């Protein structure tokens, strides 16, 4: 059973299906990377604007803090007001979830291909 892999469709092969050709797998991996990139860009957008408007950081300092929190490095600037501190707390929690999710989106196709390759039953493929 061949399946079309266009758009953001991450419909993985079943055990009985053949391994996806490298070209199609590269496309799937590219879509996963693009999705993870969009997710990270969205998170950086939220963080930059939040630090700028609630913590009253300059744009470059807001960007720096957002990137450092999102990558798990920690905050750079000191936050003086309550609104900024509350935003930083929620953004830190949000960033942890975004980071883990983006890693899962990128590793999903790789791990699936590896496991699928080891679990293909050659007997079933020859019968088709």
Rounded Cα distance between 61 and 78, Å, is: 11
Domain with 105 in it: 22-127
pLDDT in the model for residue 128 = 52
In angstroms, the CA 81 to CA 62 distance is: 15
What is the predicted pLDDT for the residue at 15?
65
Domain of 27: which CATH number?
1.10.287
In a domain, 88, yes or no: yes
**What whole-number distance in Å separates Cα of residue 122 and Cα of residue 126?**
6
Assigned domain for 114 exists: yes
The Cα–Cα gap between 90 and 98 comes to 12
pLDDT digits (tens, 9 = 90+) for 117-126: 776 655 555 5
Question: 75 pLDDT exceeds 60?
Answer: yes
Give a yes or no: residue 123 inside a domain: yes
Tens digit of pLDDT for each residue in 82-100?
A: 999 999 999 999 999 999 9
In a domain, 56, yes or no: yes
- The pLDDT tens digits of the residues spanning 16-73 come to 677 778 898 888 889 999 999 999 999 999 999 999 999 999 999 999 999 999 988 9
Domain count, the chain: 1
Does residue 8 fall inside a structural domain? no
Residue 55 located in a structural domain: yes
Task: Tell me whether residue 42 is in a domain.
Answer: yes
- pLDDT value at residue 108: 87
Degrees, nearest 5: CA angle 50-99-115: 160
Instruction: Identify which of 49, 48, 46, 82 has the alpha carbon closest to the alpha carbon of residue 65.
Output: 48
Nearest alpha carbon to residue 91 among 59, 125, 68: 68
Q: Check whether 1 has a pLDDT greater than 50.
A: no
For residue 5, tell me if it sits in a domain.
Answer: no
């Amino acid at each position: 059973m061949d399946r079309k892999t266009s758009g953001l469709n991450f419909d993985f092969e079943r055990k009985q299906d053949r391994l996806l050709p490298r070209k199609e797998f590269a496309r799937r991996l590219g879509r996963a990377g693009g999705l993870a990139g969009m997710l990270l860009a969205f998170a950086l957008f939220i963080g930059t604007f939040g630090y700028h408007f609630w913590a009253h950081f300059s744009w470059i300092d807001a960007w720096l803090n957002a990137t450092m929190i999102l990558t798990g490095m920690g905050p750079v600037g000191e936050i003086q007001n309550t609104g900024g501190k509350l935003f930083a707390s929620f953004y830190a929690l949000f960033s942890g979830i975004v980071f883990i999710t983006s890693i899962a989106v990128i590793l999903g196709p790789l791990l699936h291909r590896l496991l699928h390759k080891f679990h293909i039953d050659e007997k079933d493929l020859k019968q088709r």
